[in-house]
């Protein structure tokens, strides 16, 4: 059985003009659950498109939705494990993280691995995942500009850390292995127009981002919604 992750980001990784940057998404265990969630999400989108203002939109992105409609779509994942990491941009080591595009991407990749690990550790702790099982980890991200070699490096690093463990000298953190029987990590960039659950991840990320701006994040935190902060 495979584990599927659908994720998206909200905000811009730019400390000069933005306070927060968010990675968020959902964890789906097995193809049956993935197909069921896709059908539910598509059915609700179809119903929402009966509203005149949504009919001509190529996709129902969270930033264009009424708050009430966004909550309805988020409700599709009420029993699905959700995760998010909120990065307070102006609290980072600005000279190091924002030195160049590569250093920015390295930190963003670190943050992504960090929240995946924390989410999986939480799921293991509550009995939703079993670390001895063999599985493929299939990660689906919203499409964004990243070189093929960088994407492969990202998946290889996640695989090595989760399967073998690693010490990140850059951040001074030891990460022990999580899944010694992990078979592979595959990352695919998907156009959200063609992926219902990537659009679902967009809803999750946007909900966390707007809740941060309103200082209302505490209403989201529960056992099925794991949220971390950096730095």
Q: How confident is the model at residue 148 (pLDDT cuts 50, 70, 90)?
A: confident
64-103 confidence digits (pLDDT tens): 999 999 999 999 999 999 999 999 999 999 999 999 999 9
Report the distance separating Cα 41 and Cα 86, nearest Å: 25
Instruction: Please count the other Cβ atoms lying within 10 Å of the Cβ belonging to residue 138.
Output: 18
Task: Please give the residue that has the higher pLDDT: either 228 or 151.
Answer: 228
Q: For residue range 176-223, what is the model confidence (pLDDT) as tens digits?
A: 899 999 999 999 999 999 999 999 999 999 999 999 999 988 878 788
Burial category of 135 from C-beta neighbours within 10 Å (exposed 0-12, middle 13-18, buried 19 and up): middle
In the numeric block, the tokens 């966004």 are attached to 70
**CB under 8 Å to 68, separation ≥6 — which residues?**
none
Q: What is the C-alpha separation between 136 and 182, in angstroms, rounded?
A: 6
- pLDDT band at 171; cut points 50, 70, 90: low
In the chain, which ranges are continuous DSSP H helix?
31-48, 67-74, 94-97, 101-125, 148-164, 196-213
H/E segment holding residue 94: helix 94-97
Chain segment 6-59, per-residue pLDDT in tens: 999 999 999 999 999 999 999 999 999 999 999 999 999 999 999 999 999 999
Q: Which residue in the block uniquely carries the two structure tokens 């990320």?
A: 205
């Amino acid at each position: 059985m495979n584990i599927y992750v659908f994720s998206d980001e909200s905000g811009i990784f730019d400390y000069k003009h933005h306070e927060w940057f968010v990675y968020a998404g959902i964890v789906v265990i097995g193809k049956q659950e993935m197909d069921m969630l896709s059908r539910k999400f598509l059915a609700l989108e179809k119903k929402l498109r009966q509203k005149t203002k949504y009919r001509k939109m190529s996709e129902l992105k969270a930033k264009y939705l009424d708050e009430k409609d966004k909550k309805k779509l988020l409700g599709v994942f009420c029993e699905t494990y959700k995760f998010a990491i909120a990065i307070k941009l102006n609290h980072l080591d600005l000279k190091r993280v924002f030195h160049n595009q590569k250093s920015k991407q390295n930190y963003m990749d670190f943050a992504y691995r960090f929240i995946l690990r924390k989410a999986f550790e939480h799921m293991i702790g509550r009995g939703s995942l079993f670390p001895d099982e063999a599985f493929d980890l299939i990660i689906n991200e919203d499409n964004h500009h990243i070189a093929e070699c960088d994407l492969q490096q990202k998946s290889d690093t996640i695989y090595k850390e989760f399967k073998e463990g690693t010490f990140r000298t850059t951040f001074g953190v030891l990460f022990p292995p999580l899944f010694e029987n992990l078979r592979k990590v595959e990352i695919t960039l998907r156009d959200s127009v063609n992926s219902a659950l990537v659009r679902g991840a967009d809803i999750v990320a946007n909900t966390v981002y707007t809740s941060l701006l309103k200082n209302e994040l505490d209403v989201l935190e529960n056992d099925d919604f794991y949220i971390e902060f950096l730095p």
